[in-house]
Amino acid sequence: MSNPYIETLKSYKDTLIIDYMPAVKAMAYRLKERLPGSVDFNDLVSIGYEELVKLSHRYDPKKNDNFWGYAQKRIYGAMLDFLRSLDTLTRGNRQLVKRIDQTIQDYMTKNDYEPSDEYLSEVLNTDIKKIKKARAADEIYSVMPIEDQLNFYDDISKKIEEEELIDVIKKVLNTLNEKERLIIQLYYFEELSLKEIADILDVSESRISQIHKKTIKKIRKKLNG
């Protein structure tokens, strides 16, 4: 004999999946806007749906009366875990990312726009496929939590306490000018894409990307200093 409560709870959880699928798809869309073309939007959606189903089955409305509040960060975290799994760069190739960043920075100082992959391949004497792969991995890590970005090139020299990290970030932000601070705020806290920020502030996407990377470098330097 079926238990009416169990049946009702199962029906409720199935409804949660259907109700929140659009929210998961919207989350994947916003994340995809900040990622390179090599990342498939449908993969992000699939990962999100899979996590949504798992969480709906575990969810206990008696313990938490806000399902999306319970699920949102976990679904986003599952998408980030998927992106981490795409990172196949070796330590040497991570150093290539640093060389690419420095070359781009030097080029933009003179030209105010970003060089092509062909230019980078020639200057760095590196196969263009490696250049594209390194740049794609760099773009993926730009949406990761700041701890991931700090460890992208090298492990930081010590375990960071959250309060210490926040303190260092505040100090670094104080060294930036008003427009640079606004760019960081829009990117990290408002989660706008580089294109959206570029449209708002009339700044090139390349310039915003360089400001973001410069900030991460300053934070890493202070933590290791």
Q: Helix (H, G, I), strand (E, B), or coil: what is residue 187? A: helix
Residue 157 clears pLDDT 60, i.e. is over it: no
- Cβ neighbors of 213 (< 8 A, separation 6 or more) are 101, 142
pLDDT of residue 97: 84
pLDDT band (50, 70, 90) for residue 128: very high
pLDDT band (50, 70, 90) for residue 45: very high
Domain 91-224, second-level architecture: Up-down Bundle (1.20)
User: Could you give the CA distance from residue 68 to residue 95 in angstroms, rounded to a whole number?
Assistant: 40
Residue 130 clears pLDDT 50, i.e. is over it: yes
pLDDT of residue 1: 47
Contact by Cβ (8 Å): 59, 16: yes
User: Could you give the CA distance from residue 61 to residue 133 in angstroms, rounded to a whole number?
Assistant: 44
Contact by Cβ (8 Å): 44, 31: yes
pLDDT of residue 154: 55
User: Could you give the CA distance from residue 148 to residue 223 in angstroms, rounded to a whole number?
Assistant: 14
What is the DSSP-derived secondary structure letter of residue 219? H
pLDDT band (50, 70, 90) for residue 28: very high
Return contacts of 132-138, CB within 8 angstroms, 24+ apart. 133/89, 133/93, 134/89, 134/93, 134/96, 134/97, 134/100, 135/36, 135/97, 135/100, 136/36, 136/38, 137/86, 137/87, 137/88, 137/89, 137/93, 137/97, 138/97, 138/100, 138/101
* DSSP secondary structure string for all residues of 16-41: HHHHHHHHHHHHHHHHHTTS-TTS-H
CATH 3.30.420.40 correct for 4-85: no
- Cβ neighbors of 24 (< 8 A, separation 6 or more) are 45, 48, 49, 52, 75
Domain extents in the chain: 4-85, 91-224
> Across residues 104-124, what is the average pLDDT?
88
pLDDT of residue 170: 82
